[in-house]
Chains A and B, each alone.
Chain A
């Protein structure tokens, strides 16, 4: 993984010093809250319902064991002993004090981390496939280009006061685990027959109150032209994006109102006029970054070793975990082990300091000291030998980290909702907990198969409900929380926005409604391998509507 050089370190230290100065001016009253607000937001500091919240950047979801230990230390020292992993592959701390924030940033800088642009109307943490570099279905490792964009976008002088936030995601695999179609810019890395790297560019995707699937505006932009092309898109947006209404300020609205062809023409015109040499990375820089993302030193390992197959046959719980949580690896004899942060009836995405320390240790022991955070709020050990999987699982079980539910119905994306968030209209976490309890039975979960449930506590859609096979949106009518259900959304390469099925449900009734929908699906499927999403696409919403509302 990428390691800071002296230049990166100096940059991050200076940025921490700059924020310390801003906090001091705020605390002494020299800086008003109105003027401090955009400055703190650009450093990931929100003012939530009960306290300040600090969101720390985990660039494209990659952490070292020492970085994870430092996050655990911060959770212990400055928070209530836990952190929350987010859908931008970041981690947020819910209870720090404003006066401690500069010290936390120094602690982060000690391990090559920061909170730059994890919030605010600027370019946010670039996200990627949590299996980047190791997935069996990957053509090209996207991480070097994600790192290139991290550096390019950090404290960008031109693009720090955009009309609204700006999110970029990149994948190099045929299965899109980074939801690139729901980003302001989505990039698909490709390699042509000559072995050259290029990028298909999608623009104008997003969730929020106006969900839209991104449109492709460029095929195979070359590596040299990638940053200039991003400058052209961002400049077109910065100059012409709407600033009169924050709900219409994202680039998706500009693309939609301008029309994709005309928007593309504007971008191309700006692009043609750019001095590209000055905007691209200096010579040798891309090669320097690529050098950090070579494959680790894998040992020759037997695929499906006997110890592994024997443990599976003798231990049903381990076998369930392997089926759901372990994925195919590029390297024979190795596997991708996914660690669920969705224990039954737990808080999705939360991890305690002890859990973080344990995962750091296990990563060091079994996975070259590297950890990934997925946008679905789970953790990944990306390079585990198959023969080590049983030992790893045994270490995870007592820590509550061995829930066998990756991609299953209880592996829900859930926003913090009204329990923390100042914008929320309804609670999300308690609804997720009730659904989780309802489907706790492992056999039933396995029978249901792949089913993505996503919950947002307001129309801003931080819980990605539009992209859920089942989406749940918490709203508030006359002081009562209620929940609208959508079906048929998808965040992968078949990206689609879910459709509202009908009138909403109270918080107490949501889990029952999901139960009804799932039972209907089981009746409707042609065979066990036909997924919930495939059935919705085949039969439409009607049979599900009937199941939910016929008796009412």
Chain B
């Protein structure tokens, strides 16, 4: 499945690790937090990159050490109306200081692009169809914002 990163559609090379699956040790894998907590020893010989998938009912600050070690963090948007990941993202960026890729996965709407980017997300894994033109328009239409946020490129009142 392609994902959007830095505004462009790219082929995704991360594999989601479910509990029993065998993956080559060189693969880039996404590991759910609970698997990471229970079976971290399985990863001792893993040579590929490791991303952490955190569901939206988790207090991310309780797992600061795992976030710090991750090559990517993935947060979930089970429904586009469920805004918990927006707050999780800001905590991960602004309080835990995580500066690698932060991805949102799930029911992402193009009209949410700008809000998500401002909260610190830089890659997007859509459930549905993706319309690149609308995405671009939607994420560029607002050039101003009242709030100062993580790596914000909007014009704010200084």
Chain A residues at the B interface, C-beta cutoff of 8 Å: 7, 10-11, 14-15, 17-18, 21-22, 25, 30, 35, 38-39, 121, 151-152, 154-162, 235, 238-239, 243, 273-275, 278-279, 282, 285
Contacts and interface: CB of A to CB of B under 8 A. Distances in A.
Contacts of A22: 111
Q: Which 9 A-B pairs have the closest CB atoms?
A: A161-B83, A157-B118, A11-B144, A151-B146, A157-B115, A18-B141, A238-B87, A158-B86, A235-B87
A238 B84 contact: yes
A21 B141 contact: yes
18 contacts: A11-B144, A11-B146, A15-B142, A35-B109, A35-B111, A39-B111, A121-B83, A151-B146, A157-B86, A158-B87, A158-B90, A160-B86, A235-B90, A238-B86, A239-B87, A243-B82, A243-B84, A278-B148
Contact of B84 (A239, A278, A282): A239
Q: Is the interface of A mostly helix, strand, loop or mixed?
A: helix
A221 B141 CA distance: 36
Interface string B121-156: 000000000010010011001111111110000011
B141 A14 contact: yes
Contacts of B67: none
A152 B143 contact: no
B34 to A, nearest CB: 19
A152 B142 contact: no
B80 A155 contact: no
Contact of A7 (B86, B91, B112, B144): B144
A149 B128 CA distance: 35
A154 B116 CA distance: 15
B82 A161 contact: yes
Interface of B: 59, 61, 80-84, 86-88, 90-91, 94-95, 109, 111-112, 114-116, 118-119, 131, 134, 137-138, 141-149, 155-158
Nearest to A280: B148
Contacts of B146: 11, 151-152, 154-156
Given A11-B144, A157-B147, A285-B157, A121 B81 contact: yes
A121 B141 CA distance: 22
Nearest to A22: B111
Contacts of A235: 87, 90-91
A21 B137 contact: yes
Contacts of B90: 158, 235
A23 to B, nearest CB: 12
A273 B145 CA distance: 24
A10 B81 contact: no
B82 A152 contact: no
A238 B89 CA distance: 12
A279 B150 CA distance: 11
A279 to B, nearest CB: 8
A14 B155 CA distance: 12
Most chain B CB atoms below 10 A, which of A7, A151, A152: A7
A30 B129 CA distance: 11
A22 B95 CA distance: 34
Contact of B142 (A18, A25, A35): A18
Given A22-B111, A152-B146, A156-B147, A17 B83 contact: no
B141 A17 contact: yes
A155 B114 CA distance: 10
Contacts of A239: 59, 84, 87-88
B143 A14 contact: yes
A98 B143 CA distance: 26
Nearest to B143: A14
A18 to B, nearest CB: 5
Contacts of A38: 80-81
A243 to B, nearest CB: 6
Given A7-B157, A157-B145, A157-B147, A21 B83 contact: no
B83 A14 contact: no
